[in-house]
Chain A
Amino acid sequence: GENVEQHPSTLSVQEGDSAVIKCTYSDSASNYFPWYKQELGKGPQLIIDIRSNVGEKKDQRIAVTLNKTAKHFSLHITETQPEDSAVYFCAADQAGTALIFGKGTTLSVSS
């Protein structure tokens, strides 16, 4: 089955800096790679996703890149703000039927 590794587990940045979170996956058949943001006491919220026919996708300050050959994908947040502080999860689909999650990255943005 699919296995997803996520790094780093914690990330501290200054407001205005960029943050990058990286994930690798094991199953070359995976085609869907979403990123979720989880704030304290809430459920995971989708922030951006990418499918395997696309190498990069951007939505304002957030971008995701995908390298299918190397089986890794990354989340890039530019101009970070204190409200970006949360736990971020990457995921990959398993046979299109379920999501397998990385272990999460706790991002802290200090002002």
Chain B
Amino acid sequence: DTAVSQTPKYLVTQMGNDKSIKCEQNLGHDTMYWYKQDSKKFLKIMFSYNNKELIINETVPNRFSPKSPDKAHLNLHINSLELGDSAVYFCAAGVPSTDTQYFGPGTRLTVL
């Protein structure tokens, strides 16, 4: 069983469009995250949700909005996509203080 899954794996879209990436975890953890990995492979946290409540919101444009319908899902909506949004986005689950943090396989977003 895949612990953390994401869809889609690849997403190619035009500037200005709105898109969503879905994430699901079957680990039973209360906390989920979104990370962005840029072209230089740097991994940076974007958001953290604990049991459907936003905990961390790093300096991310408000065009990015996470939504958690339940504690097993954390989706990422991006409005008015820009070229600079092109990156690989990873979902993760598990809070470091008590859990191992597992990552999903990533979604490669390309904005043309």
Write the residues of chain A forming the contact surface with B, with a CB cutoff of 8 angstroms: 31-32, 34, 36, 38, 41-46, 49, 87, 89, 93, 96-101, 103-104
The prevalent SS among residues of A at the interface is: strand
- The answer, among A32, A34, A41, A98, for a CB contact under 8 Å with B56, is A98
Write the residues of chain B forming the contact surface with A, with a CB cutoff of 8 angstroms: 4, 31, 33, 40-45, 48, 55-56, 90, 95-98, 100-106
> From A105, which residue of chain B is reached at the shortest CB distance?
B41
A102, chain B: closest CB distance, angstroms: 9
A43→B33 contact, CB < 8 A: no
- The answer, among B33, B41, B55, B97, for a CB contact under 8 Å with A103, is B41
A46 CA to B41 CA, complexed, in Å? 16
- The answer, among B48, B100, B102, for a CB contact under 8 Å with A97, is B48
> From A33, which residue of chain B is reached at the shortest CB distance?
B96
- The answer, among A34, A41, A46, A89, for a CB contact under 8 Å with B43, is A89
- The answer, among A34, A89, A93, A103, for a CB contact under 8 Å with B40, is A103
A21, chain B: closest CB distance, angstroms: 14
A42→B106 contact, CB < 8 A: yes
B90, chain A: closest CB distance, angstroms: 6
A44 CA to B94 CA, complexed, in Å? 14
A104 CA to B40 CA, complexed, in Å? 9
> From A89, which residue of chain B is reached at the shortest CB distance?
B43
B45→A43 contact, CB < 8 A: no
Query: Given the interface contacts A43-B103, A93-B96, does A103 sit within 8 Å of B90 by beta carbon?
Result: no
> A31: which B residues are within 8 A, CB to CB?
97
> From B106, which residue of chain A is reached at the shortest CB distance?
A43
Question: What are 6 inter-chain pairs, A to B, with CB distance below 8 A?
Answer: A43-B4, A44-B43, A46-B100, A46-B101, A96-B95, A104-B42
A9, chain B: closest CB distance, angstroms: 10
A101, chain B: closest CB distance, angstroms: 4
